[in-house]
Structure 1
Amino acid sequence: MNTSAPARVLIHGASGRMGRALLRLAAERGDLVVVAAVSARGAALAEAGAVPVLPASRLAEVPAFDVAVDFSLPEAFDPLLALCRERGAALVSGTTGLSGGQYSALDAAAARIAVLWAPNFSLGVAVLTELVRQAAAALPGWDADIVEAHHIHKKDAPSGTALHLGAAVEAGRGRAPHYASLRTGDIVGEHTVQLAGPGERLELVHRATNRDIFARGALEAALRMAGRGPGRVGLGALLLGGSAR
């Protein structure tokens, strides 16, 4: 990709909390430009400024883009993935609650385009995931539990981040953890991984107090994914140079 030109970004799921944060923060950057935003109804958004906002029914009409950033719902995911494949554009997605078939479709799409799906775009969570994997491997006989808390409007439970951390636990010790989910107040996101043995307990905790950390991480990922060759990459590998998917 021509590094002198800003990356052209499509925001998908623009009317949600993350979509609005992405629009607001993208306007502050000079290394990328949002060419269009897509929401379910295409209603005007204050955060969009001069960026055109299209309804999902007109997704095929969006202008050329290098990378799509998607924080929508599972039912809106398939048309976007198809469009990215058709246009040869990269996809950065944080949409949770996807089906097994949709995850398989991501793998298939990676043969043609650059794909990144992550349940959480926090750098802290990327580091936490590796710490959890190491701790679970070092303490394979201990009980493992993951407790997550989010705002009352979050639909999926356990959260995508909790399941991602659970996969790290299972990778480390060969067994999945137990999960507990709380939906209360306006909590942005809290995740506690607890490993308990006889007479002692280890807790690894991440607390998000501002949704902007996720939007900033997603925009940084989008910048790095724009112009990247086909393949599926994980956030840790992309941002931290690690090997985790």
Structure 2
Amino acid sequence: MRIGIVGIAGRMGQTLVREVAQTKGCVLAGGTELPGSPVLGRDPGEMAGIGPTGVKIIDDAAQMFGNVDVVLDFTVPAALPRHAALAAQGKTAYVVGTTGLEPQHFEALDKAAHHCAIVQGYNMSLGVNLLAGLTRQLAASLGDDWDIEIVEMHHRMKVDAPSGTAILLGEMAALGRGIPLDKNAERGRDGITGARRKGAIGFAALRGGNVAGEHTVIFAADNERIELSHKATDRGIFTRGALRAAQWVHGKPPGLYRMADVLGMAG
């Protein structure tokens, strides 16, 4: 299976290069960076420390999308609409791990998914997706007298908050309770906020050091508390999940899929 990577010189891009090299049945077939990047023309394998791959980094995303089977994207939300359109144009399978997505980005994915198979995941880790499933189950089992708080911590360079994974966990908690997250989320408490709203789902974001990702879902009632936690210590867990998604989505009919589909946990 021919894999292409957009943003191949970034931290996640380089980690993906190494993961592709270790994944049976996969080969790196293309990689892009922005026009004017100093890495254009270089071999991404040499940059990633695995030796030459025979691939040269280019700035023509359309060319790459047309010459690979699956494209992996962990870049930025602003780039997603164009990448989704290119995937649709070439009927190229597309795996999206970009976080910080807003409604217009999901609209672009929905539109493209009429023509190609797409896997979108806030977090590609198996453990996180199991955590999401447990969060939904507990939220469905416990009444709204149990307060739900989601706490996440990431490295100092992360630019969006709360994290995509925290939002996923909030969505699963809301789904379990049968309520819309957007009308029940509480974020960024500061000053005199008043008492906590019954049934609200709270978020807190911490930033510091080189933390790959830590998430805790707290269910708190009078005199007792349940905490579900996941801690990532290496970005490799995300790239392994992305490659698993790529292998799963290759050859699938057009549609917008989630990691729950990839892992057989949908529903």
Q: Structure 2 length as normaliser, TM-score?
A: 0.84
What residue in structure 1 maps to residue 106 of structure 2?
103
SS of 1:65's partner is coil
Q: Does 1:91 align with 2:94?
A: yes
Q: Does 1:228 align with 2:221?
A: no
Residue 138 of structure 1: how far off its partner (Å): 1.1
- Paired letter, 1:113: C
Within 5 Å, give how 1:32-181 maps onto structure 2: 32-40=26-34, 41=37, 43=39, 44=42, 45=44, 46-47=47-48, 49-50=52-53, 51-55=55-59, 58-62=60-64, 64-141=67-144, 142-173=146-177, 174=179, 175-176=184-185, 177-181=201-205
My pick for the range that moved more, 24-33 or 195-204, is 24-33
Structure 1: runs of 5 or more not aligned: 1-6
Greater C-alpha radius of gyration: 2
SS of 1:167's partner is helix
Distance 1:135 1:52 in 2: 48
Distance 2:208 2:155 in 1: 5
What residue in structure 2 maps to residue 4 of structure 1?
none
SS of 2:132's partner is helix
Q: Does 1:28 align with 2:55?
A: no
- Paired letter, 1:164: L
Structure 2: runs of 5 or more not aligned: 186-200
Answer whether contact 2:6 2:61 (CA < 8 A) is retained: no
1:199-223 Cα deviation digits (max 9, x unpaired): 0001000000111010011011111
Report the count of equivalent residues. 235
Answer whether contact 2:85 2:108 (CA < 8 A) is retained: no
1:116-147 Cα deviation digits (max 9, x unpaired): 11010000011110100011111122111000
Answer whether contact 2:89 2:115 (CA < 8 A) is retained: no
CA RMSD of aligned residues (A): 1.4
Distance 2:255 2:19 in 1: 27
What residue in structure 2 maps to residue 3 of structure 1?
none
My pick for the range that moved more, 43-52 or 150-159, is 43-52
Distance 1:30 1:92 in 2: 18
Distance 1:61 1:236 in 2: 31
My pick for the range that moved more, 127-136 or 223-232, is 223-232
Answer whether contact 2:15 2:236 (CA < 8 A) is retained: yes
Q: Does 1:19 align with 2:19?
A: no
SS of 1:227's partner is coil
Residue 30 of structure 1: how far off its partner (Å): 3.0
Distance 2:86 2:12 in 1: 21
What residue in structure 2 maps to residue 242 of structure 1?
265
What residue in structure 2 maps to residue 187 of structure 1?
211
